[in-house]
A and B are shown apart, each in its own frame.
Chain A
Amino acid sequence: MAGDSCTVKVKIDHVKKVFNVRGNEVVALNGVDLEIKENEFVCVVGPSGCGKSTLLNIIAGLDVPSSGNVLLDGNPIDGPGTERGVVFQQYALFPWLTVEKNIAFGLKLRGMKREDVQKETAKYLDIVGLSSFAKSYPKELSGGMKQRVAIARAYAVNPEVLLMDEPFGALDAQTRTQLQSELLQTWEREQKTCFFITHDVEEAIILAQRVVIMSARPGRIKEIVEVNIPYPRTQETKMSQEFLELKNYIWGQVYEEYLAVRK
């Protein structure tokens, strides 16, 4: 089953991030420690402004910690790299490129041969079920389809770690559920380490092996909850006693932090 390996893939070691906002120091992350195992699916939940996205950006190499380290396979992260793929909430598709060219973007940068680019692109278009939209432009797609393209684009360069920043946050409930199960299927098949940020507790439990609850600013890890529900998880899983208990518990923890923010 996925995630059985015990090798640490990403090690977040005492990561602190301080932003300077108009002369004031704002502590976004205050000493975060976390080990993500190879092929593990970890979800992060927490109130807005708890530094979830900052943490993801640091792992992605788009941002640097003020102190502390992030190690990938034991090596410190220095800038972005193709072994880490990112899916953004706002899709971030290149609007001037067709669906297939968006997916091929990273492959071409690697200098892959044209026929191989075509083969890989076709493969991932098929995985996300958008083969008939290969020549469409992003503006012609719905939100759910755009995010499928973004996921395919991230998968195409075959990263070892997939970082997802509230990827389904802007979608309607039905599309979100659909994409959750598609993502789970792909993850079970393709075996990748997933670091997934969400504000949706149900989403976190249905996807993750471990749910990391973050506290309100300054962001720290409040608690890590193991989700011992076996895969494959389906919509029925959401009715199970185990699921509901976890949901109540995690929601309670997040709500406490939410109240702390409002104070």
Chain B
Amino acid sequence: MNKISDKVWILISFVTAIVLWQLISMSEAGVVFASPVEVIEKCIKKIADGTLWLHISYSLFRVIAGFSLAFIASIPVAFLMGWYRPVRGLIEPWIQFVRNIPPLAYIPLIIVGVGVDERSKVTVIFIASFLVLVVTIYQGVRSVDATLIKAAKILGASDRDIFFKVVMPASTPFILVGTRLGLSAALTTLVAAELTGASKGLGMMIQTASGNYDMGTVLLGIIIIGIIGMAMEKFVRFLERRLTGWQETHVQ
């Protein structure tokens, strides 16, 4: 069994899934589960009329915009929280408070607050990924080995050197873990964000198709979101290998 490579296992798993899916679609559950062929047909049709790419690009734009803004904002906040106790004391309780509220709950507030255009979707995704990023990076800043800071001081490092040459690189693994979790949170929130009256986007495509009982399109949307998620994960893993290969063990 060990002679079979991982790639072969993935292939076997994939083929099995398709077969199972086909079987389910041929059973009574077929009312809900469109067959693989049907989904592929929908896919080809939507590629042909250009709508699929339009939905994907809108969704991707929202995820990337919301996440990028969150990333830029979270780094200084997380470092300040890790570095200065008053900042931590002032901010941490609110982060913990908001973190546990599902985005669906505060979407009405955001719609009223910023309107139904792109800004509301980006804002929801921003909030969701910002919270995850801040919490993770802040943990990283706090867990920087104090001996390393001592060692740097002994070698003549100023506070500035300590920040850029010790705390930043030591926190990089956590920034990357935060990125992975933050992107995942962004994607998870996407569908919720697109409920705020979007006309385009994968979440909206699923919503509309669901209203029309077009389960082929619903499944197509779900699969595409899954693929985007996996691609993002792969990308971050790649960055982790490149940037934090020095670690004794990878942070999970």
Contact = CB atoms under 8 A, between A and B. Distances in A.
Given A94-B166, A94-B169, A86 B150 contact: yes
B17 to A, nearest CB: 38
B248 A139 contact: yes
B147 A105 contact: no
B170 A96 contact: yes
Contact of A157 (B145, B147, B156, B246): B156
A90 B248 CA distance: 14
A82 interface: yes
B30 to A, nearest CB: 53
B9 to A, nearest CB: 29
A86 B148 CA distance: 12
Given A94-B148, A96-B169, A109-B161, A80 B246 contact: no
B154 interface: yes
A15 B140 CA distance: 36
Interface residues of B, number: 22
A170 B156 CA distance: 26
Interface residues of A, number: 26
B227 to A, nearest CB: 33
A80 B151 CA distance: 10
B247 A62 contact: no
Interface string B136-152: 00000000010110111
A60 B155 CA distance: 11
A3 interface: no
Contact of A139 (B153, B165, B246): B246
A23 to B, nearest CB: 19
B172 interface: yes
A153 B155 contact: yes
Contacts of A138: 246
Contact of B156 (A60, A82, A90, A94): A82
Contacts of A49: none
Complex A-B, nearest 4 residue pairs according to Cβ-Cβ distance, in ascending order: A106-B155, A92-B151, A92-B147, A96-B169
Given A82-B155, A92-B151, 13 more contacts: A60-B154, A86-B151, A94-B148, A94-B166, A94-B169, A95-B248, A96-B172, A96-B244, A105-B152, A105-B155, A109-B155, A109-B157, A138-B246
